[in-house]
Structure 1
Amino acid sequence: MLNLRDTKDIVLRPYQLDAVEGLRDGLREGKKRLILCAPTGAGKTVLAAHLLQQADDKGNYALFLVDRVALVNQTSETLDDYGVNHGTVQGINRRWAPRENVQVCSVQTLARRKLPRAPSLIVYDEAHCQYAATLKFIADHPEAVAVGLTATPFTAGMADHWQGMVNVTTTRKLIDDGFLMEPKIYIAKSPDESEFGRNSFGEFSDESAALAGIQIVGDVVAEWIAKTTEHFGGPAKTIVFSPTVEHGRELCAAFSAAGFNFQQISYLDRDDNERAEKIAEFRRPDSLIHGLVSCGVLTKGFDVPDVLVGISCKPYRKSLSSHIQEIGRVMRTHPDKTKCLWLDHCGNFERFAVDMYDVWDHGAGELSTAAKRDSVAREREVKTREPLKCAECGGGMRGNTCTACGWERPARSDIQSVAGELREFDPTALGMEPRGGLRADCLKRPKDIWLAALNYCAANSRKGEDHARRWAYGVFRGVYPNAKLPSGWYSARIPASVDQAALSLVERETARFRKKNPIRRPIVANDNDRARAA
């Protein structure tokens, strides 16, 4: 039975209520096997608690299936928080109470243990894992409604076992609404693609990844120290994803040599209590553990909201789901958390960025198409790598904006082609590349910069309009070093009012030039320049 303690009501967000209604719509259509696709932070466990509580209220027998001991305890604690009476089916567990209406079950234990009643509801957490014994258990109970929870329904064959999918919300919406935090992503030093061997499934082999990764362990530690010092002023709570136990040991030893406490947990741990103690200590706000190094353990369902840094050392060639699950571990919000970092030392961001942002922005789509995403190999080639790395800080680019420093890559062209229409040629589309290091959004509008320069120089020149125009040209060339003024710009009427962001940039550029060149005169247009631009 539930221990007597303060509990809280389950209050669903509007999109969660819509998801529940979506499940009901599916049931009305006769679909009893439905995937509930909810990205990290969407509240899958809360949704599950709501479904389980409703089953309990009706006296139905309901099972919540998980594949990790840590997730049994984590889910049990959440149900306690919401006042849902339940038992657990997992090894020798003090919460063994099989006659309670709700049971939290380890799928491994469930395969070996008999329960007193047939379930009316089966909720399968991380349903993309597709354990054969669990799928068989669901198939053996056709009268039960089965709901599969996952953020990444990309495993091949899912459409064969489930009849449909309800998309709860998108990661981008959760970020925009403040329920998730988008990480600053850094593309750090990583082994070359050729150093990774392939296994029989066409994925990178863990052994080759470990051998290649061990060679850059020192870089992993150095990068972590540099970035945590820059962003947090010192060590920050961190999760590291490692390909093998051996690689994890090397990482822990290297961090220890640098004076930091990193502890490894892996699928080879024989002592569940020791692992549980490490995780419990790591959860503490003042934890003595700076980081957990995970080998096949914390990829999914592990929630420590105050984790600030994730380090990716396990490369994937096909598994978009693993990449999204891992990066999701650092994206949860916390009252004391203002930013989070993702340090990529294996090239996963470069392989999966396009697909990841598509899923973040638009959701997983239909189950039949989503289930094919993990079957496609992504190669990290030069033509795909360069657009994804910030030229300023080495951060990961999302479109034309750096996720780490905010630098914006200037658009190469503003020309738009519309079928059936001819549009006036826009001269600003030609050759307007700003000087490296400039990040202002107004740089996308070169004509605004030119007009602001005209306005500023006319207001501050004591030598007349001709000098003001030549001075403005010098300022403009300082911003766009290789640009030529399009026809008609040089003689344009000096505006009385201009874009304030552009004017501020002109003022900063003028001050920068004066500070750097206290004696030299600024660049001004000569007769040839004026004739060409007139």
Structure 2
Amino acid sequence: DHLYLLEDFTVCHNTELATAILLAAKNNGKRGGFLADRISLCTQTSERFDKYGLDHGMMQASHWRFRPSELVQVCSVQTLARRQWPEMSLIVVDEAHVLNDVVKKKLAAKDCYAIGLSATAVTPGLGKYFDTVVNAPTTNRLIEMGRLVPLRYFACTAPDMDGVKVVAGEWDAKETDKRALQVVGDVVHEYLQNGQSKKFIGFAASIVHAQELQRQFIASGINVATYTADDQPEDRAEIVQEFKKADSNIRGILSVEALTRGFDVADVEVLILARPLRSSLAVHIQMLGRVMRTFEGKFEAIVLDHSGNVARFWKACNELFENGVSELDDGKKKEKKKEAAADKEKEMVKCPHCRAMHMPRPSCPSCGHEYPRKAAIEHVPGTLKELVATGNPALMRKMLWPQVCSIVLEATPD
């Protein structure tokens, strides 16, 4: 195997892993490259390499650090598309769940070793470009180890997506935007009620939606910035730098998808989901990962769900958090697996008092509300009668059939 995909959920920065990998290659006299599809990611990686003393060059348009003789190169994918690829023994592909066509072509050639780094190796089609998936500790294990903080979910007002046309697997963008705009006031109100004035990031359905959310947050006295394609790169960089300050005057940043990659502000404690997704599990998980990094005094992250995504991806998300990725999707349609009895026990529970969403348990972990216990046996008041003579077929099926099955299983040889 030449192509490996490393599944890692946010705690080990991709650049930390890349530094160790490429340093080992350099020490062996091999040429290696780190590939990223955003200038901000290239800059972030170069700074991290400097931190650890890894000499490198930059393959990025008009960059002052153009040093083709260095064994290690940080490469902008867009620049590689316009230039001839340098000879490399190893490439490390950042954010491998969003492969550029140029990188896909390189991986398909299999003329060097390649390692992809991703927190969401569930993206459809990755199995066509990588041979093997290697799991780091799963998300739940990292939470247990104190390397990530747990999430506390709340089901808030969300747009009704019934009847929205589906385009390429997702809801029509214009109609989604229209419906999301109808609950803007609820998003602001919910943060004022439950956001505890903590730093937050939010994901909107569109740029227009993000701008309207910003307008209403500011009208409520909360300074919020946007981080979208409409904002200039230098403005976006300044916004993030200001937001990182402990005493930042920016309380929240709103984006559509730009913040799902390369965003690292560990003291963010609230996530607002206002972008409904129909099938993009990988994007949903990337959004959750933005608020799970640890920080002094941070014990959990609050998710205010105005999208319906938490319920929509509940089982798939919890399965990934618990078990990681067992195999890569090769893009071929697969038969839907039958739901096992154990899976039914993982159904989402929504507290009727505080609207917290959680795994089944006797009481709500958020507010302590106790759920009524379900009796294992149904007691029917009245005169004691023989079960077969009750004239209650439903009760007979419920009580008698499991006993019959048990007797048959005991009597049947292996």
TM-score where L is the length of structure 1: 0.65
Q: CA deviation at 1:87?
A: 2.1
1-structure distance, mates of 2:262, 2:153: 21
Q: Bigger CA drift: 294-303 or 323-332?
A: 294-303
Q: CA deviation at 1:287?
A: 1.2
2-structure distance, mates of 1:387, 1:139: 41
Equivalent residues of 1:312, 1:345 under 8 A apart:
yes
Q: Kindly indicate whether residue 325 of structure 2 is the aligned counterpart of residue 364 of structure 1.
A: yes
Equivalent residues of 1:155, 1:371 under 8 A apart:
no
1:275 counterpart letter in structure 2: R
* Residue pairs, 1:294-309, within 5 angstroms: 294-309=255-270
Alignment equivalent of 1:335, drawn from 296, 304, 328: 296
Q: What's the Cα RMSD here?
A: 2.6
Counterpart in 2 of 1:118?
87
Deviations 1:191-227 (A, max 9, x none): 11226x2342121122222211111111101101111
Q: CA deviation at 1:399?
A: 3.0
2-structure distance, mates of 1:276, 1:244: 20
Deviations 1:127-182 (A, max 9, x none): 11122111113334x33110011111222222121111111110000000000001
Counterpart in 1 of 2:388?
none
Q: 3-state DSSP class of the match of 2:259?
A: coil
Q: 3-state DSSP class of the match of 2:87?
A: coil
Q: 3-state DSSP class of the match of 2:167?
A: coil
1-structure distance, mates of 2:141, 2:224: 34
2-structure distance, mates of 1:360, 1:203: 23
Alignment equivalent of 1:138, drawn from 100, 107, 112: 107
Q: Kindly indicate whether residue 229 of structure 2 is the aligned counterpart of residue 267 of structure 1.
A: yes
Q: Kindly indicate whether residue 14 of structure 2 is the aligned counterpart of residue 44 of structure 1.
A: yes
Equivalent residues of 2:170, 2:278 under 8 A apart:
yes
Deviations 1:469-516 (A, max 9, x none): xxxxxxxxxxxxxxxxxxxxxxxxxxxxxxxxxxxxxxxxxxxxxxxx
Counterpart in 1 of 2:238?
277
* Residue pairs, 1:315-330, within 5 angstroms: 315-330=276-291
1:176/1:409 CA distance change after superposition, 3 Å: farther
Question: Percent identity among equivalent residues?
Answer: 38
Q: 3-state DSSP class of the match of 1:396?
A: strand
Q: CA deviation at 1:371?
A: 8.6
2-structure distance, mates of 1:430, 1:80: 69
2-structure distance, mates of 1:119, 1:408: 60
* Residue pairs, 1:52-201, within 5 angstroms: 52-114=22-84, 117-140=86-109, 142-194=110-162, 197-201=164-168
1-structure distance, mates of 2:39, 2:367: 39
Equivalent residues of 2:314, 2:348 under 8 A apart:
no
Q: CA deviation at 1:311?
A: 0.5
| Matched pairs, number | 371
Q: Kindly indicate whether residue 178 of structure 2 is the aligned counterpart of residue 216 of structure 1.
A: no
1-structure distance, mates of 2:332, 2:269: 31
2:32 counterpart letter in structure 1: A
Equivalent residues of 1:243, 1:314 under 8 A apart:
yes
2-structure distance, mates of 1:406, 1:301: 37
Q: Kindly indicate whether residue 308 of structure 2 is the aligned counterpart of residue 347 of structure 1.
A: yes
Alignment equivalent of 2:171, drawn from 204, 207, 210: 204
Equivalent residues of 1:243, 1:313 under 8 A apart:
yes
Q: 3-state DSSP class of the match of 1:92?
A: coil
Q: 3-state DSSP class of the match of 1:129?
A: coil
Equivalent residues of 1:154, 1:370 under 8 A apart:
no
Deviations 1:350-409 (A, max 9, x none): 100111011101111122489979x99xxxxxx99x943212210111233646435564
1:40 counterpart letter in structure 2: T
1-structure distance, mates of 2:64, 2:365: 46
1-structure distance, mates of 2:129, 2:282: 18
Equivalent residues of 2:147, 2:293 under 8 A apart:
yes
1:286/1:371 CA distance change after superposition, 3 Å: farther
1:32 counterpart letter in structure 2: H
2-structure distance, mates of 1:50, 1:111: 26
* Unmatched tracts of structure 2, length 5 or more: 338-343, 380-414
Q: CA deviation at 1:263?
A: 0.8
1:99/1:305 CA distance change after superposition, 3 Å: same
Counterpart in 1 of 2:340?
none
Equivalent residues of 1:390, 1:396 under 8 A apart:
yes
* Unmatched tracts of structure 1, length 5 or more: 1-30, 230-234, 377-382, 416-428, 432-534
Larger strand fraction of residues: 2
Counterpart in 2 of 1:241?
203
1:110/1:392 CA distance change after superposition, 3 Å: same
Alignment equivalent of 1:257, drawn from 200, 214, 219: 219
Equivalent residues of 2:34, 2:93 under 8 A apart:
yes
2-structure distance, mates of 1:136, 1:365: 25
Q: CA deviation at 1:327?
A: 0.6
Q: 3-state DSSP class of the match of 1:146?
A: strand
Equivalent residues of 1:37, 1:149 under 8 A apart:
yes
Counterpart in 2 of 1:290?
251
2-structure distance, mates of 1:343, 1:318: 19
* Residue pairs, 1:489-508, within 5 angstroms: none
2:169 counterpart letter in structure 1: G
1:158/1:112 CA distance change after superposition, 3 Å: same
Q: Which has the larger radius of gyration?
A: 1
Deviations 1:36-93 (A, max 9, x none): 1112214433222110111122232111111222212222222222221122223333
Deviations 1:111-133 (A, max 9, x none): 11335x40111011111112211
Equivalent residues of 1:69, 1:106 under 8 A apart:
yes
Equivalent residues of 1:42, 1:174 under 8 A apart:
no
Counterpart in 2 of 1:426?
none
Deviations 1:253-283 (A, max 9, x none): 00110111111111343x2111111111111
Q: 3-state DSSP class of the match of 2:315?
A: helix
